[in-house]
Amino acid sequence: MRDPKQPVKEANNVIALLDAVLGEDRYPLNIEEICLEYSRNKFPDHRIKEVKGDDDLSGFEGALYGSYRDEQSRWLILYNKEIPQLGRINFTLAHEFGHYLLHRHELEKFECSQEDLSNFHDDAQRESEANKFASQLLMPPNDFRKQIDRQKIDFNLIEHCTDRYSVSLTAMLLKLVEITDKRCVLVLSRSGFILWSKPSQSALETGKFIKTVGLPPVPIPQASVANTGISNNDNKIEINHGPGIWWPDEPVKEMTVFSRNFDLVITLLKLPDDPPGKSYRDFEDPDSFDSFDNFEAFNGGVRLRLPQN
């Protein structure tokens, strides 16, 4: 069995160099340039030679290929030119860069599907490691906290962060629920049923999560916007619900985006800052009771450009 790598540590090494060279106002990142320059300076005998789009990557989002000669190597990163959103392209490139830094001593060829780029759950696997590297590199927690600190969680903040980091809507919201001290739950659904949900730590500690693992398909609440849809030409809506819609004992602000390129509904639920009732602080692993392991964020990642999606 292979030893797990340290994707966050490796991404932080790159971040430290970018901080020194480019400063804090470097977003969104030029991932292509970073791949080429970082590898050329750090690993001149094993550098990335080219990063480019490809029309013939059927079945794959991206790929990394190595070629060895006389104890030196050159590497090629490709992304599928049919990917419709810039945010997904950026994540794909960062993912392949993660393979290069973490795994090039293990394999010479990486061909990554949509499913590979959606695997964040298995800590021992290369694809999960490359995804965690990409998320850390594209949206460093320290900078992300500065963007959301003392800010109202609404569509203005969501659009600001997706624009700043040039990532898909779902990727950004996953980082938001990971970083925020507010009580939020992210839900991805399709055809009226929840694919997975992810609570923030503060939501988890107050018992606000959606259990799906080991259960039949969990339906979206009937009175929610995610289930009923919207009647205008916009692809997003924000509405305040009273108790009894998502949870029986608390009101919730629902922010829902409907993807027009994919049959997906992305919902961020914001709960009041002052929770009633019981604390669930013994719960430390939300993945034990949601289906985040079925993550499909980058399969259908929505680039938030309100309201044109």
Locus of tokens 């500065």 = 146
Radius of gyration for the alpha carbons in the chain, expressed in angstroms and rounded: 20
If you search the block for the tokens 């966050």, which residue do you land on? 8
**Which pLDDT band holds residue 305 (cuts at 50, 70, 90)?**
very low
* 95 sits in which H/E element: helix 86-103
pLDDT, average across residues 300-307: 35
Nearest of 141, 192, 197, 144 to residue 170 by alpha carbon = 197
DSSP for residue 274: S
In this structure, which amino acid lies at residue 287?
Answer: D
Which residues, 6+ apart, have CB-to-CB distance to 204 below 8 Å? 280, 283, 286
CB–CB of 294/301 below 8 Å?
no
185-201 pLDDT, tens per residue? 999 898 899 988 899 99
Is the pLDDT at 242 greater than 70? The verdict is yes
- The pTM of this model reads 0.82
Residue 299 banded pLDDT, cuts 50, 70, 90: very low
What kind of fold does domain 143-294 have according to CATH? Answer: Beta-Lactamase (3.30.450)
Range with the poorest average pLDDT among 54-68, 155-169, 228-242: 228-242
Say how far apart CA 305 and CA 209 lie, in whole Å: 28
Per residue in 109-122, pLDDT tens? 999 987 787 766 66
- Tell me which amino acid residue 122 is: D
Strand, helix or coil for residue 195: strand
How far apart (Å, rounded) are the C-alpha atoms in residues 300 and 264? 7
- Out of 26-30, 57-61, 255-259, the most confident range is 26-30
Return the DSSP state at 218.
P
HSE of 140 in the Cβ direction (CA atoms, 13 Å)?
A: 22
Angle at 155 between CA 153 and CA 158, to 5 degrees: 75
pLDDT of 18 reads 95
The structure tokens listed for 157 are 């903040």
Look at 113 and 158; give whichever has higher pLDDT.
158
Q: SS3 for 241?
A: strand
- Provide the β-strand partners of residue 68: 73
Amino acid at 125: Q
Question: Could you write out the DSSP letters of every residue in 56-88?
Answer: --TT-SEEEEEEEETTEEEEEEEEETT---HHH
Strands 48-54, 72-80: parallel, antiparallel or unpaired by DSSP? parallel
Q: Measured between alpha carbons, how far is 214 from 219 in angstroms, rounded to an integer? A: 14
| All structural domains of the chain with their residue ranges | 7-138, 143-294
Rounded mean pLDDT of 49-75? Answer: 93
The share of the chain scoring above pLDDT 70, in percent, equals 85
Output the average pLDDT for the chain: 86
Residue 245: CA atoms inside 13 Å, Cβ hemisphere, count? 18
Q: 199 near 208, Cβ under 8 Å?
A: yes
Residues with Cβ within 8 Å of 85's Cβ and at least 6 positions away in sequence, in order, are 168, 261, 301, 302, 303
Judged against a pLDDT cut of 80, whether residue 67 lies above it is answered with yes
Q: Is the pLDDT of residue 217 over 70?
A: yes
The three-class DSSP label of residue 49 is strand
